[in-house]
């Protein structure tokens, strides 16, 4: 285990902004964390856990300690005729994990194909796509508490999952390093084709005749058609959350915008498409220097080359202001801003 000083983070975040961390270390085991804690390293400066860097925007150099999650490994804890329970290292690459499970016929996460990042970040964000959220297959997770050096297991209720949120983004933000995540996957999966793009992809076919690999492939094709590859055009995927509003607010907006897409939610609420709202404000394809809004998906802010974190954030703030002015809705960032 080697601790780097003034470490460049540009290659380790999908936004690719040129910032440095005061200190950086790759964590490959729980033992690494225990050693750092015992040596007092975790109490000297602010500490941040970095996964795949796919959901974070640095607006300045980080004057603290970056712990990069590189804990690998997969272990089947239980297997029956109907399901498997599998424990996965937090440093495993999420898209590769999904691909492997799909190939083996284990269902439940096929709609979450190609989402960038690492396994340990999945429950933090409660990642979701095309009608599925990771909480639906989540069993529990193991975490290391940075302040006390103790390990703890969190079950589903303790994680307090919400829309693109969990306890690790709210009251316990920054307090834990997620080392392993355990999932419950099905050998007899029930497909979720509720989202319009998937409905269209499988129109005219019986659900009983569709395989999870086909669903995964359709999701990948849809994502590739709408979202830029971070390897080719730096971005962090969806920059804003889709806002959830009351039925009253929907009625007000629908009166003036009859074509506005609306997705009903439990409790008399509805989810709106943030990308649609941004596009109506004229932002799609717009650019300010090297920071811009993607030409195919207005929900994605991109770095065309050398944009700074502050420039990307300034663009995001301008987008928020215009959506607030036109629709009376405040968009919340999905990306973590440092």
Is residue 211 packed enough to be buried (19+ CB in 10 Å), middle (13-18) or exposed (0-12)? middle
d(CA 303, CA 291): 5
Catalytic pick from 54, 113, 166, 238? 238
Q: What are the two backbone dihedrals, phi and then psi, of residue 304, each rounded to the nearest 5 degrees?
A: -75, -5
Catalytic pick from 23, 164, 184, 223? 164
d(CA 159, CA 110): 22
Contact 237, 116 (CB under 8 A): yes
Contact 296, 303 (CB under 8 A): no
Catalytic pick from 83, 92, 136, 334? 334
Among this protein's residues, is 238 annotated catalytic? yes
d(CA 82, CA 80): 5
Hey, which residues are catalytic here? 164, 238, 334
């Amino acid at each position: 285990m080697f601790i780097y000083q003034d470490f460049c983070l540009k290659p380790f975040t999908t936004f690719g902004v040129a910032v440095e961390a005061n200190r950086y270390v790759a964590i490959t085991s729980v033992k690494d964390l225990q050693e750092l804690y015992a040596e007092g390293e975790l109490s000297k400066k602010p500490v941040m856990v970095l996964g795949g860097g796919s959901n974070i925007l640095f607006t300045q150099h980080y004057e603290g300690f970056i712990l990069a999650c590189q804990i690998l490994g997969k272990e089947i804890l239980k297997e029956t005729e109907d399901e498997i329970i599998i424990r996965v290292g937090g440093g495993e690459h999420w898209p590769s994990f999904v691909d492997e499970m799909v190939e083996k016929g284990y269902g439940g996460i096929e709609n979450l194909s190609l989402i960038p990042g690492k396994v340990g970040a999945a429950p933090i964000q409660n990642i979701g796509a095309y009608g599925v959220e990771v909480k639906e297959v989540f069993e529990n997770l193991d975490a290391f508490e940075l302040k006390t050096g103790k390990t703890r297991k969190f079950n589903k209720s303790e994680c307090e999952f919400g829309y693109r949120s969990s306890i690790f983004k709210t009251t316990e933000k920054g307090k834990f390093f997620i080392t392993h995540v355990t999932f419950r996957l099905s050998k007899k999966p029930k497909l979720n084709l509720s989202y319009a793009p998937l409905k269209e992809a499988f129109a005219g076919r019986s659900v009983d005749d569709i395989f999870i690999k086909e669903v995964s492939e359709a999701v990948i094709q849809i994502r590739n058609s709408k979202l830029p590859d971070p390897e080719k055009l730096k971005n962090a995927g969806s920059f804003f959350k889709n806002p959830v509003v009351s039925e009253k607010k929907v009625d007000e907006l629908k009166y003036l915008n009859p074509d506005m897409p609306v997705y009903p939610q439990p409790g008399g609420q509805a989810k709106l498409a943030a990308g649609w709202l941004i596009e109506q404000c004229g932002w799609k394809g717009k650019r300010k220097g090297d920071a811009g809004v993607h030409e195919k998906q207005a929900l994605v802010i991109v770095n065309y080359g050398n944009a700074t974190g502050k420039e990307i954030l300034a663009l995001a703030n301008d987008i928020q202001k215009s959506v607030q002015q036109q629709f009376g809705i405040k968009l919340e960032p999905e990306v973590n801003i440092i």
